[in-house]
Amino acid sequence: MTGYWLVAGGLAAIGIIAAITVSMKEHEEEVAEQQAEKSGTEEVISDATAQAMMQVPLALLGAVFTIPGGATPALKVARILGRNYPLVLLLVLIGALFWPTRTKAEDAVAGAEGAEQKPNGFQPAETLH
């Protein structure tokens, strides 16, 4: 019974930390948007961040496969991750909180270019009834 309470408390603590982190991130984004209105460098920074985040998994895979021993360490790591699947899934979900999203400035640029936006799962369909 005590173990269940400890796990429940740990998950609740992780949830609280994630909620605080998301609210801080939103606050920082609001401040960054206000500063970006004064200077036009936000788009460059957000694009560089998105590109770096997309290249990190490939860089990690490349590093794992180039170490001495070949794919054997990679298989050991995969086995460890498989055993700890719930923890890995939790970390992936927390990582999804920090995934870059489209900003209002990007939406305005896309709208100004006249490109028709179709719903693709990331953007809602804008239908007026």
Give residue limits of the domains in the chain: 10-99
Categorize the per-residue pLDDT at 119 as very low, low, confident or very high, splitting at 50, 70 and 90: low
Predicted pLDDT at 55 = 78
| pTM of the predicted model over 0.75 | no
- DSSP per residue, the chain: -HHHHHHHHHHHHHHHHHHHHHHHHHHHHHHHHHHHHHSTTHHHHHHHHHHHHHHHHHHHHHHHHHSTTTTHHHHHHHHHHHHTHHHHHHHHHHHHHTS----HHHHHHHHHTTPPP---SSS------
